[in-house]
Amino acid sequence: MNLLRIKKFLNTRWGFFSLLVFLFWLKTILVYFIDFHLGVKGIYQYFVLLVNPLATTLLLLGIALYIKRTIPSYIFMGLIYIANTALLMFNVIYYREFTDFMTINTIFGYSTVSQGLSGSSFALLKPQDIIIVADIIIVALGFITGFLHLDKRPIPRVQALALTSFSLFCLVLNITLGEISRPQLLSRTFDRNYLVKYLGIDTYMVYDGLKTARNSQVRNKAGSSDLNNIINFTRNHYAEPNSKMYGIAKGRNVIVIHLESFQQFLINYKLNDKEVTPFLNSLYNSKETYSFANFFNQVGQGKTSDAENMLETSTYGLSQGSLFSILGTDNTFEGAPAILGQSQGYTSAVFHGNSGSFWNRNNVYKNLGYNYFFDSSYYNTDANNLTEYGLKDKLLFHDSVKYLERLQQPFYTKFVTVSNHFPFALDDQNTSFDKANTSDASINNYFVTAHYLDQAVQEFFEYLKKSGLYDNSIIVLYGDHYGISDTRNLKLASLLGKSSFTWSDFDNTQMQRVPFMIHIPGTKDGGVQTQYGGEIDVLPTLLHLLGIDSRDYIQFGTDLFSSKHDQVVAFRNEDFITPKYTVIGNTIYQNSTGKILTHPSQKVKDEIKKDREKVNTELSLSDTLNNKNLLRFYIPTGFTPVDPKKYNYTNQYGQILKIQEDLGKKSTSLWSKNGNKTTIDDYSSDAPELTTTDQNEANVSSVKNTLKSNKKESIDTSSSSAESDSD
């Protein structure tokens, strides 16, 4: 009898509506507890968490009740339900990778990221995800089998209005409950976990959308006066260079090697008594290398792109989404490629075996002033040569030689590796290191791909030495961000000699260390440095080593070698770390013990307050600078704003060959210095795929034809001089 009553109720519009509300509430709550780590504490927070999905679910699905016609009403209700389910699913996948929730900017910037993705998103799926879509299947089967029927009777408008009013009341109540537990929840918090915990995903997305629209409006109203506070801060924050280090690498080539997802704990680490990264260990411990033991990644949602942005511009990524993806197409930058090119005549290039549109690089690099960007279209990308995110590292380094050796020196180049990227998949023929033995496959594979990356870097270094580039270069190596996320650290703990039972947020923060090494061949004064710093500090440090004062540029980092270097390292979520303390929210940890300071002295409180104000100010000013695109109003002395229209990333091999030919005996390329011969024979690699990859002179015939046609078109070559071609 009860079953018949339930069935009869479900076959009314109110009944079907109630069924969808209950199912969506249930799966949202299950996801909260299974996938999200919201830090819920106490009965009050649990109560708020349990009710927060209801208001927006009632409100959104209730829109369909205003539609009187039967089929459109049911279809509309179903579409809203499916769309909300998709939003929930995407957030689950996103959270597993980023330990964060999607934003409006993330969603709009997704297309620039997705073109570089392959199967990694599927690797983030788990069996329990069936609970997110199972209800849709069950409801569909209910209609197919005849258990559910369409109710042709419309809902009276007064009832629909009553539901909407009740939904809005619940929403206001929900926000009020959140504000009671977390004052200024909507006005101050940068942590999206709080917003979802108190308000739910839908309300959070609406809030984020309104905030995004407001920021867009602010950007349009920006003016040069908005720069005053930023200039004052960066001028007062400037750290003058160390006289012993200033200019010690002037005139040398700069080679930056981006170590994807590479964490500091891998350095000197042994798994089963075998070094994971023996070559990088040797660099790290060398007296020719300035290595940093307390160097932290400071990325936000933009991850790799945030790291690149900080290294290139010494400004922070955004609090939400990727600066490259969201603002990079239109923003004005004063980055390393342009500074080095204009002040010391550097040629700049990036080598990356993934799609040029990944993280919007094909647009951002032009705004940064990169002369060349060799993306996946310049390499042999047969399936056998690829990993999840592009060309395998050994092939990237090897196959870049034919471009590298043609660049005019000095050059500033960056190699963006990808093989050590989640989910850390590597085929058997390239595997030469045993996996770890944990219950997490990604952790087990992490050591395998890190070892492969180490081998790739070693092969490249050997080439640099044999080809003659090594002695006149400095090589900068850095890890961009964590490889093992906070949600997986508990399973990693035992491999680090720690207990998962005592693992804390303090340990998660310490795991944000990444390697940073400046290898300067010929120096004997290197070694491991202990000062605290982060990715924001790289550009002023590098400029000073090259003999360029960073004072006139708007940069938020400081020279790591300066006696006035600021050792307060800010994280994107406003947490921070100093040589003495790790501050996470309102919790203070003593670095020397890893324990919480439950009763800090007034002196410590004052010190933490001062550091917190500095961190908040710094992040806020950087956001203002980037969100309002304020660098368009600021031109440093001797600097010319970058014109992205001058850069063309098509037929770049032809471009560099033409410059070399035009310069003739004045050419400074490695090819020219080597008697107009290739140096590819100096490259030794054990990569099994090399029998099928591009040969060094591929497409040269077509390039020569291009050069001939160019000569026919114009006898006057002044317009295509080396200077204009290398802009």
Model confidence band, residue 190 (pLDDT cutoffs 50, 70, 90): very low
Instruction: For residue 327, give the CATH number of its domain.
Output: 3.40.720.10
pLDDT beyond 70 at 187: no
At 194 the pLDDT is: 82
Domain annotation covers residue 727 = no
Give the CA distances from residue 393 to residues 260, 301, 366, 530, in Å, rounded to whole numbers and listed in that order.
Answer: 10, 24, 24, 30
**Beta pairing class for 289-296 and 411-416:** unpaired
462 assigned to a ligand binding site: no
Domain annotation covers residue 124 = yes
pLDDT beyond 70 at 272: yes
**3-state SS class at 36:** coil
Tokens of 264: 């500091």
State the SS3 of 347-362. EEEEEECCCCCHHHHH
At 116 the pLDDT is: 52
> Can you name the residues that pair with 478 across neighbouring β-strands?
258, 516
Cα–Cα nearest to 164, from 57, 11, 13, 29:
57
In angstroms, the CA 403 to CA 652 distance is 9
375 assigned to a ligand binding site: no
**Beta pairing class for 411-416 and 347-352:** parallel
Measured in residues, the chain has a length of 727
Tokens of 298: 């400071």
480 assigned to a ligand binding site: yes
Model confidence band, residue 554 (pLDDT cutoffs 50, 70, 90): very high
**Between residues 326 and 639, the one the model is more confident about:** 639
The CB-based long-range contact list for 611-618 (8 Å cut-off, 24+ gap) reads: 611/568, 611/576, 611/578, 611/583, 612/574, 612/576, 612/583, 614/568, 615/568, 615/570, 615/574, 615/576, 616/574, 617/233, 618/233, 618/237, 618/316, 618/556, 618/570
Rg for the chain (alpha carbons), in Å?
28
At 357 the pLDDT is: 82
Domain end: 580, 613, 644, which one? Answer: 644
**Between residues 384 and 4, the one the model is more confident about:** 384
Q: Are residues 169 and 310 in the same domain?
A: no
Cα–Cα nearest to 28, from 1, 7, 57:
57
Model confidence band, residue 446 (pLDDT cutoffs 50, 70, 90): very high
At 109 the pLDDT is: 66
At 329 the pLDDT is: 85
Q: Are residues 315 and 213 in the same domain?
A: no
In angstroms, the CA 56 to CA 259 distance is 43
pLDDT digits (tens, 9 = 90+) for 208-217: 888 778 777 8
Q: Are residues 13 and 138 in the same domain?
A: yes
State the SS3 of 431-445. CCCCCCCCCCHHHHH
Contact 430, 386 (CB under 8 A): no
Average pLDDT of the chain? 91
Q: Are residues 270 and 155 in the same domain?
A: no
pLDDT digits (tens, 9 = 90+) for 517-534: 999 999 999 999 999 999
Model confidence band, residue 704 (pLDDT cutoffs 50, 70, 90): very low
Domain annotation covers residue 253 = yes
Q: Are residues 552 and 499 in the same domain?
A: yes
Give the CA distances from residue 534 to residues 78, 293, 537, 593, in Å, rounded to whole numbers and listed in that order.
Answer: 48, 11, 6, 22
Once rounded to an integer, what is the mean pLDDT over residues 450-469? 99
Selecting among 106, 203, 277, 304, the annotated active-site residue is 304
**Between residues 35 and 698, the one the model is more confident about:** 35
Q: Are residues 287 and 213 in the same domain?
A: no
Model confidence band, residue 188 (pLDDT cutoffs 50, 70, 90): low
Domain annotation covers residue 725 = no
**CB environment 308-331: b (16+ within 10 A), e (fewer):** bbbbbbbbbbbbbbbbbbbbbeeb
Task: Return the minimum-mean-pLDDT range out of 90-104, 158-172, 350-364.
Answer: 90-104
**3-state SS class at 143:** helix
Domain annotation covers residue 502 = yes
Measured CA angle at 460 (ends 450, 298), to 5 deg: 50
Contact 475, 460 (CB under 8 A): no
pLDDT beyond 90 at 727: no
Contact 407, 138 (CB under 8 A): no
pLDDT beyond 60 at 697: no
Sheet containing strand 372-374, edge to edge, reads 372-374, 347-352, 411-416, 253-259, 473-479, 516-519, 289-296, 527-534
Q: Are residues 422 and 342 in the same domain?
A: yes
> Can you name the residues that pair with 479 across neighbouring β-strands?
259
Q: Are residues 158 and 304 in the same domain?
A: no
**3-state SS class at 456:** helix
Domain end: 158, 191, 219, which one? Answer: 219
Domain end: 160, 188, 219, which one? Answer: 219
Once rounded to an integer, what is the mean pLDDT over residues 25-36? 94
Contact 200, 56 (CB under 8 A): yes
pLDDT beyond 50 at 207: yes
Q: Are residues 540 and 505 in the same domain?
A: yes
Q: Are residues 418 and 482 in the same domain?
A: yes
**CB environment 416-449: b (16+ within 10 A), e (fewer):** bbbbbbbbbbbeeebeebeebebeeebbbbbbbb
At 724 the pLDDT is: 33
Range of the domain at 607: 231-644
At 40 the pLDDT is: 86
**Beta pairing class for 253-259 and 372-374:** unpaired
Tokens of 582: 């790790």
Model confidence band, residue 440 (pLDDT cutoffs 50, 70, 90): very high
In angstroms, the CA 199 to CA 182 distance is 11
Q: What's the one-letter identity of residue 697?
A: E
723 assigned to a ligand binding site: no
304 assigned to a ligand binding site: yes
> Can you name the residues that pair with 253 across neighbouring β-strands?
473
pLDDT beyond 50 at 27: yes
Model confidence band, residue 505 (pLDDT cutoffs 50, 70, 90): very high
Cα–Cα nearest to 578, from 315, 314, 296, 313:
296
pLDDT digits (tens, 9 = 90+) for 80-133: 999 999 999 999 988 887 677 888 877 776 555 555 555 566 778 889 999 999
At 111 the pLDDT is: 55
Domain annotation covers residue 142 = yes
What percent of the chain has pLDDT above 70?
92
Is 304 among the residues known to form the active site?
yes
Q: Are residues 60 and 207 in the same domain?
A: yes
Domain annotation covers residue 673 = no
Domain annotation covers residue 660 = no
pLDDT beyond 70 at 159: yes
pLDDT beyond 80 at 716: no
- The tally of domains found in the chain comes to 2
Q: What's the one-letter identity of residue 280?
A: L
Model confidence band, residue 713 (pLDDT cutoffs 50, 70, 90): very low
Q: Are residues 392 and 497 in the same domain?
A: yes
At 718 the pLDDT is: 32
Model confidence band, residue 675 (pLDDT cutoffs 50, 70, 90): very high
Contact 387, 421 (CB under 8 A): yes
